[in-house]
Structure 1
């Protein structure tokens, strides 16, 4: 396609800086997700803050926002 980055981003309504960096995922994403799901199944009534505290106690370096389902991640 012979469309400039500037024109394509303007047509899609995206900022041009979103096209410059490739998103990086974690190497241990599957293990973190498995641990998070296991804790959520075991402690069904715990909220995201308590689950993230349990993950931190287990040695994970995780932010509360990553565990919170309302933020769209985790």
Structure 2
């Protein structure tokens, strides 16, 4: 998910939702999201909640990167990619993202990434 700061700088968000409980486990905020950011976030969540059977995601570069695929394989976690151009296959995440945008992102003008992190975490 993406937005921008009041000065136009990029704001990227990695939203991790539990498919079974629909609980938002994490929203990582930064200027960009690299494969290493995905790996660190998922590692932290595995430590907190245990290992999932699979990770469902879209086909964004941060999820399809060789480093992430290798990490998932080494952790014995199956990647489950939705079909390109088929957001309805991940409908509960799309619904969550829409709610985040409507309830927070469209109402706030973040002056910094630090401010965005605090307000987004408070909203979560």
TM-score interval w.r.t. the shorter chain? 0.3 to 0.5
Structure ranking higher on relative contact order (CA contacts 8 Å, 6+ apart)? 2
Q: Which has the higher strand share?
A: 2
TM-score (norm 2): 0.24
TM-score with structure 1 setting the length: 0.35
Q: Which has the larger radius of gyration?
A: 1
